[in-house]
């Protein structure tokens, strides 16, 4: 009887209970990560490591020493003509063309031609290509937008300005007069100067006046000395004649 009860009460091998009660001893997580201070964030952003850019393999880019684009024959011819203009003309003015029609341009050319002034048309690409390799490189900023060149073999700024007043579409930007770069106001001031013949006449008159004054100063002392000597001789001759007259009376 006792053995039968013991066999019934002992658990069978490999038997597991249907339910198990597990007790969790962990607590709820109440701590969170503190946010970083704003100054520290800025410091971390400034001191962040930036890796250098990878170098391009050799031959990936064209060499700077080689010219990328060669000038075409038409551009070479226009650059040769432009070089001739700068070599032969003493006045080269840059004028901006603000929507001037063909008829007004023809009238302007005719008025300028009366004073031996010509109008030349060159593209800005050709002009800049020529100026970059010449002594006139400072004129390159003037060639922006539609521009024309007004040239003459003699500096005739006064006639050019008088003609441009009748064409409000043409605005003077600057000029190169006798290898001197001038602004628009500088050209106006240059036109107010007297002509070369007048300046030469004034120079010759001033030099003549100085030389004549120098000659008169050099002749002043000898002339004064000569006048004094002549006065002394006259006085001596008058004294001698006065002494000779009493002696002649005594003798009689």
Please report, for the domain that includes residue 117, its CATH number.
3.30.70.1730
The residue with greater pLDDT, 13 or 92, is 92
Give domain status of residue 113, yes or no: yes
Contact 86, 175 (CB under 8 A): no
User: Residue 20 in 3-state DSSP?
Assistant: coil
**For the chain, percent of residues with pLDDT exceeding 70:** 78
Contact 199, 125 (CB under 8 A): no
Contact 126, 91 (CB under 8 A): no
User: Residue 208: pLDDT band by 50, 70, 90 thresholds?
Assistant: confident
Give domain status of residue 240, yes or no: no
Give domain status of residue 223, yes or no: no
Distance of alpha carbon 238 from alpha carbon 54, whole angstroms: 119
Give domain status of residue 147, yes or no: yes
Interstrand relation of 118-120 and 181-183 (parallel, antiparallel or unpaired): unpaired
Cβ within 8 Å of residue 157, ≥6 positions away:
91, 93, 175, 177, 187, 190, 191
Any idea which of 36-45, 81-90, 132-141, 213-222 has the lowest mean pLDDT? 213-222
Distance of alpha carbon 134 from alpha carbon 248, whole angstroms: 101
pLDDT digits (tens, 9 = 90+) for 104-150: 899 999 999 999 999 999 988 889 888 888 888 888 888 888 899 99
Per-residue pLDDT at 60: 67
Give domain status of residue 31, yes or no: no
Give domain status of residue 246, yes or no: no
Give domain status of residue 211, yes or no: no
Tally of structural domains, the chain: 1
The residue with greater pLDDT, 207 or 64, is 207
Query: Domain range for residue 169?
Result: 73-191
Per-residue pLDDT at 23: 56
Give domain status of residue 226, yes or no: no
Per-residue pLDDT at 39: 92
Average pLDDT over residues 156-173: 90
Average pLDDT over residues 168-193: 90
pLDDT digits (tens, 9 = 90+) for 18-69: 555 555 555 555 677 788 899 999 999 999 988 888 777 777 666 655 444 5
Q: Concatenated DSSP letters for 8-26?
A: HHSPPTT---S-------P
Contact 89, 152 (CB under 8 A): yes
Distance of alpha carbon 211 from alpha carbon 219, whole angstroms: 12
* Closest C-alpha among 205, 125, 193 to residue 161: 193
């Amino acid at each position: 009887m006792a053995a039968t009860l013991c066999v019934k009460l002992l658990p069978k091998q490999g038997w597991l209970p249907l339910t198990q009660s597990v007790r969790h001893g962990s607590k709820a997580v109440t701590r969170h990560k503190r946010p970083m201070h704003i100054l520290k964030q800025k410091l971390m952003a400034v001191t962040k490591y930036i890796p250098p850019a990878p170098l391009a393999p050799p031959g990936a880019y064209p060499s700077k020493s080689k010219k990328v684009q060669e000038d075409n024959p038409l551009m070479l011819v226009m650059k040769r003509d432009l070089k001739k203009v700068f070599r032969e003309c003493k006045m080269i003015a840059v004028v901006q063309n603000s929507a001037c029609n063909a008829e007004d341009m023809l009238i302007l050319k005719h008025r300028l031609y009366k004073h031996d002034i010509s109008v030349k048309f060159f593209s800005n690409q050709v002009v800049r290509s020529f100026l970059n390799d010449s002594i006139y490189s400072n004129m390159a900023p003037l060639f922006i937008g539609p521009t024309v060149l007004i040239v003459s073999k003699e500096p005739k700024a006064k006639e050019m300005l008088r003609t441009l007043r009748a064409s409000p579409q043409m605005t003077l930007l600057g000029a190169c007069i006798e290898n001197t770069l001038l602004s628009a106001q500088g050209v106006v001031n240059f036109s107010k100067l007297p002509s070369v013949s007048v300046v030469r006449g004034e120079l010759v008159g001033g030099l003549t006046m100085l030389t004549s004054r120098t000659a008169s100063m050099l002749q002043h002392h000898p002339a004064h000395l000569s006048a004094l000597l002549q006065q002394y001789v006259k006085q001596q001759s008058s004294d001698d004649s006065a002494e000779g007259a009493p002696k002649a009376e005594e003798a009689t």
